[in-house]
Structure 1
Amino acid sequence: MQRISGGSLRGRVLKSLPTVPGLRPTGARVREAIFDRLQHELRDAVVLDLFAGSGALAFEALSRGAARATLVERNPAVARHLQAQIRELALDERARLWQGDATTFLRRHSPSAAELAGPYDLVFVDPPYDDTEVVLAAVLPALVAGGWLAESAALVCEYDRAGGRRPPAWPQGLVVETTRHYGQTAVEFLRHTKTTTTGAPQLC
C-alpha cells in the first residue's frame, strides 16, 4: 500500500497496482528522502515523470505544490490504472497521462506543445532496473538536446546498484549535485546547466 506523505493530499492511499512483471514502485523511505531534498524545488513546478508506474512521484510532487505534471507509462494496464488514480485524486486539471514508451515520447513530441506545458522544472527518471543502462543512454541526451529541461531544472534518477550497475556517462548539460544510497538503490540528483562554447559546464 502506497500513501502520499506530504502536502494537500497527505495521507491519501493510492490504488493497488495491477500485477505487471518488472513494475517496482519507489519505496516509501526512498520517496520521502527524495522529497526532503526537493522541498525547495516544488512550488509551482512543472513536472515530468517519464516512467510513472504507480504515479507516486508525480502525485507527491503535485500534493506538495507542483503546478502540473505529465506522466508517461508504456504498459497499457498500468496507464489505465494511472488514469483512474488521477480521477480519484481529482487531479484531472493538473495531471496529464501519455501511454507509450518514454524514448518515443521524447522523440515524437515537442515540450512547448500547449498540452505538455514544457519545458520542465523537475524530471523523474526511474526506468525498470534491468533496462537502466540502455534506457538512460537514450533518454538523458534526448531530454537535454530536445529542450525538455527548463533553465536550472532538477532531475532525479533512480537505479539499482546490484551487480555493480552504474548509469552511463551523464551527457553535457547535466551535472550531479549529490548521490544518495538506500540499500541497493541509488538516487542521483542532477541539475541542468548551461555550457560555454568550450563545453565547460556552468551552473545557471
Structure 2
Amino acid sequence: MIFKKNKKFTNNCPTGIIRIIGGMWRGSKILVPNRTALRPTPNRVRETLFNWLAPFIRGAHCLDCFAGSGALGIEALSRAAASVTLIEQDRLISQQLLNKLQLLQTKQAQVITTDTNLWLAHSSDANKFDIVFIDPPFNQGMISKTVAFLEYYNHLAKKSWIYIETEKKGTYSIPINWKIYKEKVAGKVAYRLYLRT
C-alpha cells in the first residue's frame, strides 16, 4: 500500500496517501487522515478483490459500510459501478471523502455521515445493493451485527456479493444463504467474498 506522509491538511492533521489502482481514475490519489482506527485496504488486497469482482462490478449499485478512506467505494466507481453509497461516522474523514468526490466530478456517489448500523436500521432507501463492502475497524466485533442488519432490513439484491475484511483470526456470523466465493489471507488480514443466493 502506498502511504506517504503529507502535512497539507486541515487542522494541521498529518495524512497519508493511497492510490486508485484500476479503472478510469487509475493513479488518482486519496488523502487519508491520521486516525488510529483508519486502516485502508492494502493495494494487493484491493487488486485481488476487484479481480474477483471484475465480472460483476460494471453497473452495480454498491454500499461501503465503513468507508474510511473511501478506497473500496471509489475503486468500484473507477471500475464502472453505477453508484456507491459511502457511510462514515467520523466527520473529518467524511468531509475528506466529499472533497475527493468533488475533485473527481462524479455524481454517482453519496457520502452519509452516520453510524452504519443506525443507517441500515432506519434508511428508507428502496435501492437494493448488488455489492457490499464490510471493512470495519479491527477487534471491535462489528461485523455480525452489520451482516444481520443488511439481511433483516432488506438492503441486499436477490443475488448480491458481500466483501468482508477482518483481522486474521477474526470471527463473525453469516446467514446460511451466503456462500463463500473466494477467500485469502494477506499478512494479518483475512478477506472473503460471499455470494448471497
The two structures have a TM-score, normalised by structure 2, of 0.88
Task: Find out whether 1:89 has 2:107 as its counterpart.
Answer: no
| Aligned counterparts, 1:64-143, within 5 A | 64-91=79-106, 93-112=107-126, 118-131=127-140, 134-143=141-150
Q: What is the Cα deviation at residue 65 of structure 1?
A: 1.0
**How many residues matched?**
181
CA separation in 2, counterparts of 1:104 and 1:122? 19
Post-superposition shift, 1:171?
A: 1.9
Is contact 1:143–1:149 with CA below 8 Å preserved after alignment? yes
- Report the residue type matching 1:183 in the other structure: G
Separation in 1 of the partners of 2:176 and 2:155? 14
Aligned to 1:160: 167
Q: Report runs of 4+ in structure 1 exceeding 4 Å deviation.
A: none
Number of the residue aligned with 1:44: 59
- Distance (whole Å) between structure 1 residues aligned to residue 40 and residue 170 of structure 2: 20
Partner of 1:202: none
CA RMSD, 1 decimal? 1.1
User: Which residue does 1:3 correspond to in 2?
Assistant: 19
Give identity over the alignment, percent.
Answer: 32
Cα distance in 2 between the residues matched to 1:170 and 1:81: 32
State the TM-score, normalized to the length of structure 1.
Answer: 0.85
SS of the residue corresponding to residue 166 of structure 1 reads coil
Structure 2's unaligned 5+ residue stretches are 1-16
1:126 aligned partner, one-letter code = D
CA–CA distance in structure 2, aligned partners of residues 18 and 178 of structure 1 = 31
Is there any run of 5+ residues in structure 1 with no aligned partner, and where? 113-117, 194-204
